[in-house]
């Protein structure tokens, strides 16, 4: 009979090569890090707590655990560490790999958990679950979890421009809506805060009952306009830096973003998001491409029950959102393409829900077509390129 842990669950049996491996899981939080380890030829998991963000202490603890296990087995050991993808990003993973430790980052949503209505959840239980997941994955069990492919620091830094621009646009919308809301309370509904003559037009505004703007309200509106002008300048700076990053390389070859922007319906911003959020990665097949964007269907089949739950939404949300937006633009600007013809044949004159469902399917097909275009140079069937 296999040994059990404190929770009463049996430890998974380990392979023949595990006698030379020390398995470690990291449960990361804002205050503390819980390190759970399983030494060779041991059925008991040990747990240690260190302050959050203290990489030197983590490396020292791993070295101490490794040394203790090596004295026990009388030989050298290989250390394998697993952690969940989360707010800490990938710096812990990179720090471990830089010190010669094999590290893996797992998608937390792919780890199987108890389906009890009231299941116990603690850092200790989560650490043990992570460790069991790592053991099963190293044994080669299929579909036990989904490991994340961490981007390089350069790849991670390149996508900051498109993400920062999206953040700045959201902030601009907030300030514009605030100005319009303040003016609506005075009976003014025709003022555009983004107009070039916004300050001059503000001076000539009068309330709905014919009074000039109150002094404090006008001062507040001027401060809001100053914030909008700062945001407009920052957006222009980000867009200029983005445009410089998509120029041809030293050999004169166009960048993948420039290739995408050659297609009608795709501009520099959409091309940058498409490439830096997804198409820069290496995918094995078209299913992996669609799954990374969360655009794959989620069936529910059991016995006589057979229905669809919609797309999984388990992938990169930024890539998924931009693909839905691009799908609508593709139908408008690429009407003679095979994908647009497929959409019209499916939808016809329908409106509403059928149209929204079909546009998601078109987004999935379009993403796969663009992946082939970037990696193999295969232009989507019937697509039109922009004039030089």
* Confidence (pLDDT) at 251: 63
How far, CA to CA in Å, does 44 sit from each of 12, 20, 40, 123, 124? 12, 16, 10, 17, 13
How far, CA to CA in Å, does 140 sit from each of 77, 136, 276? 20, 7, 31
* Confidence (pLDDT) at 252: 64
Q: Pairing between strand 78-84 and 46-51?
A: unpaired
Q: Per residue in 170-223, pLDDT tens?
A: 999 999 999 999 999 999 999 999 999 999 999 999 999 999 999 999 999 999
Return the closest-CA partner of residue 327 out of 286, 361, 285. Answer: 361
* Confidence (pLDDT) at 113: 86
* Confidence (pLDDT) at 6: 42
Mean pLDDT per block of 10 residues along the chain (388 residues) reads 43 51 94 94 90 95 93 89 93 95 94 86 92 94 91 92 95 97 94 95 92 95 97 96 75 82 93 94 92 90 87 90 96 95 92 91 96 94 88
Give the fold, CATH level 3, of 16-150.
Nucleotidyltransferase; domain 5 (3.30.420)
Cα–Cα dist 67/272, whole Å? 47
* Confidence (pLDDT) at 349: 86
Angle CA 330–331–335, to nearest 5: 105
Cα–Cα dist 84/95, whole Å? 15
* Confidence (pLDDT) at 162: 92
Domain boundaries of the chain, sorted by first residue:
16-150, 157-245, 256-376
* Confidence (pLDDT) at 8: 44
15: tokens are 């392979």
* Confidence (pLDDT) at 7: 43
């Amino acid at each position: 009979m296999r040994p059990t842990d404190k929770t009463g669950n049996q430890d998974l049996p380990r392979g023949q090569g595990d006698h030379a491996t020390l398995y470690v899981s990291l449960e990361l939080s804002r205050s503390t890090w819980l390190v759970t380890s399983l030494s060779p030829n041991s059925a008991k998991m040990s747990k240690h707590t260190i302050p959050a963000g203290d990489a030197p202490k983590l490396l020292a603890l791993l070295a101490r655990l490794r040394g203790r296990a090596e004295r026990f087995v009388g030989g050298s050991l290989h250390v394998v560490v697993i952690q969940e993808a989360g707010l800490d990003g990938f710096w812990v993973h990179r720090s471990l790999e830089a010190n010669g430790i094999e590290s893996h980052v797992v998608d937390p949503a792919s780890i199987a958990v108890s389906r009890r209505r009231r299941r116990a959840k603690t850092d200790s239980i989560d650490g043990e679950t992570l460790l069991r997941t790592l053991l099963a994955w190293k044994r080669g069990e299929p579909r036990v979890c989904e490991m994340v492919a961490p981007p390089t620091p350069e790849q991670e830094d390149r996508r900051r421009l498109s993400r920062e621009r999206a953040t700045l646009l959201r902030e601009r919308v907030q300030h514009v809506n605030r100005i319009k809301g303040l003016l609506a309370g005075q009976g003014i509904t025709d003022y555009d805060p983004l107009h070039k003559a916004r300050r001059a037009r503000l001076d000539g505004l009068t309330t709905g009952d014919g009074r000039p703007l109150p002094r404090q309200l006008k001062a507040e509106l001027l401060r809001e306009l100053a914030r909008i002008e700062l945001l407009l300048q920052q957006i222009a700076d980000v867009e200029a830096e983005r445009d410089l990053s998509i120029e041809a390389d030293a050999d004169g070859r166009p960048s993948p973003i420039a290739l995408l922007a050659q297609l009608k319906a795709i501009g520099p911003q959409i091309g940058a998001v498409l490439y830096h959020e997804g198409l820069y990665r290496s995918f094995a097949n078209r299913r992996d491409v669609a799954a990374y964007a969360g655009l794959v269907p989620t069936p529910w089949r059991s016995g006589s029950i057979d229905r669809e739950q919609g797309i999984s939404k388990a992938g990169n949300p930024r890539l998924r959102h931009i693909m839905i937006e691009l799908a609508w633009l593709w139908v408008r600007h690429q009407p003679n393409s095979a994908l647009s013809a497929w959409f019209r044949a499916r939808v016809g004159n329908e409106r509403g829900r059928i149209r929204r469902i079909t546009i998601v399917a078109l987004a999935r097909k379009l993403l796969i077509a663009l992946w082939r275009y970037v990696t193999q140079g295969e232009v989507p069937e019937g697509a039109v390129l922009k004039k030089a």
